[in-house]
Structure 1
Amino acid sequence: MEQDNRDPRGGSSFSRDAREELAGMLQDGFDHPSTKPVLAWGAMGAVAAAILPVVGVPLGFAAGAGYKFYKRIRPD
């Protein structure tokens, strides 16, 4: 029997979708379609953070990668 991936409000579960996407990225590595864009946005965030005096490079990387990861799961 197939499980329903929708929550009671009518949308799919973000945490379930994120877990599946991350598992696919970890399993497939650079062959997964989301890995390269997420890492590229992380690198752009790190470069932007290096320019800003208040934000550190690791935080910039996490922000850039997190934003793109979110947009890969929820494109709208």
Structure 2
Amino acid sequence: MNDPEKPIDSRILVDAIAEVKDMGREGMAHPSTKPVLVAAGAGAVAAALLPVVTWPIGLLAGATIMLYKRIRP
């Protein structure tokens, strides 16, 4: 049961770790791998255009956002 006092579901970290492990095992055959890689690339390009954010931060942000969207649609 979800506690209304908790802002984030505690299962999200467990689900994310499981998804990343599955992506590592299955490689490009896993349905989440391609969208996460595309979003990581888009984040890196967007960050390269911004003067404040570096490309590694954009890469990580893009991948994280897409992974979250794949876990919690």
Settle same-fold status: TM greater than 0.5: yes
1:13 aligned to which of 11, 14, 19? 11
Are residue 56 (structure 1) and residue 54 (structure 2) matched?
A: yes
Which 5+ residue runs of structure 1 have no aligned equivalent?
1-7
Partner residue of 1:3? none
Corresponding residue SS for 2:2: coil
Query: In the alignment, residue 30 of structure 1 is paired with which amino acid?
Result: M
Partner deviation per Cα, 1:18-56 (whole Å, 9 max, x = no partner): 121111001001110000000000000000011111110
Q: Relative contact order: is structure 1 or structure 2 higher (C-alpha 8 Å, sep ≥ 6)?
A: 2
Query: In the alignment, residue 69 of structure 2 is paired with which amino acid?
Result: K
- Greater than 6 Å deviation, 4+ residue runs: none
Query: In the alignment, residue 9 of structure 1 is paired with which amino acid?
Result: N
Corresponding residue SS for 2:68: helix
From the two aligned structures, give the one with the greater helix fraction: 2
Query: In the alignment, residue 18 of structure 2 is paired with which amino acid?
Result: E
Partner residue of 1:66? 64
Partner deviation per Cα, 1:51-72 (whole Å, 9 max, x = no partner): 1111100000001011000110
Root mean square deviation of aligned Cα: 1.7
